[in-house]
Amino acid sequence: MPRMSKKRKHELSFYLNDRGRVTYNELCRKCQHGCKQSFRAVVIDCPRYLSKRAKKKEKHTE
């Protein structure tokens, strides 16, 4: 596995864990979209994430 350059490490410093590996948030790990958030993020606001327990929004036509 090639090492990261100092510039690359600096860019990814928010995503690197204690072992120096890029780590994403638990909800973002299996997500197919490119908007992944760091494991350090506490509050997640992802418009593409749909929980199985979330209530579905109904479209009201008037």
The answer to whether the Cα torsion of 8, 13, 14, 20 is positive or negative is: positive
3-state secondary structure of 9: helix
pLDDT in tens, 11-61: 888 888 898 888 888 877 778 888 888 888 876 677 777 666 766 666 666
Residue 38 in contact with residue 15, Cβ under 8 Å?
A: yes
Report the predicted TM-score, pTM, of the whole model to 2 decimal places. 0.58
Q: Which residue has the higher pLDDT, 62 or 49?
A: 49
**Quick one: pLDDT at residue 55?**
67
Q: Which residues of 19-42 are buried (b: 16+ CB within 10 A; e: fewer)?
A: eeeeeebeebeeeeeeebbbbeee
What tokens does 38 get?
Answer: 């760091």
**Quick one: pLDDT at residue 2?**
74
Length of the chain measured in residues:
62
Mean of pLDDT over the chain:
78
